[in-house]
Amino acid sequence: MSKKFRRCAGAIVFNNNGLVLLGNRNDTANDAWQFPQGGIEKEETVEEAAKRELFEETGILSVKTISIDKTPKRYVFPLNVKEKFRQLHINNDGQEIYFVLFYFYGKNEEINISTKHPEFKEYKWDSFDFAVQQIVDFKKEVYVSALNRFYPLIEQYINKLS
């Protein structure tokens, strides 16, 4: 029996200090820091989905696209997450995530996580290493892959700014 994976886009947003934007998930009692992400709708490109999710979850519009994953990375949900989704009639076994790297050129005042359906209880700018350390175990491999792929691009971009 083959597994069913939902296509999704993740937004890795960095600022002129080379820090990445992380949100602390609203639906957990413990800290659960991650990049904004969400499903890719029909007729939507990976970049469009990442921008939409970024705006829906943080209010951010002031970004420049730096790089887009061409191949998704997969992660499988643990049983407790699958059961939670099954109750909502979501039958995916995991997600195929395409990351999009964005440079944030706006001001922090633009960031608004108090949305109609808030996903994050707080946000912060921190290191990419922190993001990898803090992500839930079942997503760790895809975050390590994103770090290896995108961190050199962040460094190159920041060096061009200075």
Q: What is the pLDDT along the chain (162 residues), one digit of tens a residue?
A: 678 999 999 999 999 999 999 999 998 888 999 999 999 999 999 999 999 999 999 999 999 999 999 999 999 999 988 998 888 888 899 999 999 999 999 999 999 999 888 999 999 999 999 999 999 999 999 999 999 999 999 999 999 988
Q: What is the pLDDT of residue 27?
A: 85
Whole-model pTM: value is 0.95
Q: What is the pLDDT of residue 127?
A: 97
Q: What is the pLDDT of residue 162?
A: 80
Q: What is the pLDDT of residue 124?
A: 97
CA angle in degrees (0–180, nearest 5) for 94-39-27: 75
Q: What is the pLDDT of residue 119?
A: 94
Which residues fall within 8 angstroms of residue 119, CB to CB, at 6 or more apart? 23, 25, 26, 27, 36, 57, 113
CA dihedral 155→102→78→27, nearest 10 degrees, is: 120
Give the separation between CA 152 and CA 157, rounded to whole angstroms. Answer: 9
Check: CB of residue 104 under 8 Å from CB of residue 62.
yes
Residue 7: DSSP 8-state? E
Q: Is 160 helix (H, G, I), strand (E, B) or coil?
A: helix
CA angle in degrees (0–180, nearest 5) for 81-14-125: 70
Map out the domains of the chain with their CATH numbers. 5-161 (3.90.79.10)
